[in-house]
Amino acid sequence: MNEEDVRITRATAGDFNDVLKLYYEFYVELRSKQGWRPHPIEEYAEDVMRYLRSDAVLIARVGGKAVGFTRISMREGSYWIEEIYVKPEHRGKGIGKALVRAAEEYIAKHDPAAYVMVLPQDTEAITFWVKAGYSTLNTIELVKYLEPISGTEALRYVEVFGHVFRMVAWAKEGYGEAEAEYLEALKEFVEANGSREEFLRVVASALKEWVKGKRGA
């Protein structure tokens, strides 16, 4: 399949059923990774109807068949590419990239920046957006549970500038060998009561040694 075979248009009320099915499939896949059950498809209908009225929903079709979508919202003066989804059997054919380009072209008419939010556990999505050129870290969302929350028992650790945060482990994690090794090493560091300063010193020292070896090679 060539990218020119993909037709991307802004969805209208007449595309409601196609968008609802794609939107539901998006959440079925996401909740499966997380280990949670999605709501019945009917419970997403109101959201989809509202998005078709208030947001820019782009739908990708191949041979007239709806195979993917993305949604653009405007929040506090910024444009966000929200959900993006391509049916599994149509992945690896440039449709996701085409949807991103179409979303960026739409946003560029209104603002010079496009924003995305990615869950830290979703390494597949992070890789997708990095390859699409999204490389500036904007905000970090933190949460404090004020009472015990079911499903947060299995935790992993992630680090930003030496600050270690907890994140809920997903049922289906796509970490590569190096990522898994790093997460395990970070867990051992935290459990050994390593401090932020110690972490930064260890990492800085290791990076300097690596650069030194690289330059001396």
Domains of the chain: 1-138 (3.40.630.30), 140-217 (no CATH)
State percent of the chain over pLDDT 70.
95
Question: Is 70 in contact with 84 (CB distance < 8 Å)?
Answer: yes
DSSP 172: S
State percent of the chain over pLDDT 90.
90
Find the length of the chain.
217
Q: Work out the average pLDDT over 88-111.
A: 97
CA 28, CA 167: separation in Å to the nearest integer? 21
Name the amino acid, one letter, at 217: A
CA 197, CA 199: separation in Å to the nearest integer? 5
User: pTM here?
Assistant: 0.90
Task: Collapse the DSSP code of 164 into the 3-class scheme (helix H, G, I; strand E, B; otherwise coil) and give the result.
Answer: strand
Residue 86's pLDDT band, with cuts at 50, 70 and 90, is very high
Q: For residue 177, what pLDDT is reported? A: 96
Any bridge partners for residue 84, and if so which?
70
Question: Is 72 in contact with 79 (CB distance < 8 Å)?
Answer: yes
Distances (CA, A) of 52 to 58, 59, 117: 10, 11, 20
Q: Residue 169: which region, alpha, beta or left (left: phi > 0; alpha: psi -120 to 50)?
A: beta
Per residue in 27-76, pLDDT (tens digit) is 999 999 999 999 999 999 999 999 999 999 999 999 999 999 999 999 99
Residue 146's pLDDT band, with cuts at 50, 70 and 90, is very high
Task: Collapse the DSSP code of 113 into the 3-class scheme (helix H, G, I; strand E, B; otherwise coil) and give the result.
Answer: coil
Residues 6+ apart with CB under 8 A from 181: none
Task: Collapse the DSSP code of 115 into the 3-class scheme (helix H, G, I; strand E, B; otherwise coil) and give the result.
Answer: strand
Q: Work out the average pLDDT over 160-180.
A: 93
Mean pLDDT of the chain, nearest integer: 94
Distances (CA, A) of 187 to 92, 140, 144, 217: 34, 20, 20, 33
Q: What is the CA radius of gyration of the chain?
A: 20
Return the residue matching tokens 């078709």: 52
Question: Is 58 in contact with 9 (CB distance < 8 Å)?
Answer: yes
Does the pLDDT at position 153 exceed 70?
Answer: no
DSSP 119-162: -TT-HHHHHHHHHTT------------SS--TT-SSEEEEEETT
Question: Is 9 in contact with 59 (CB distance < 8 Å)?
Answer: yes
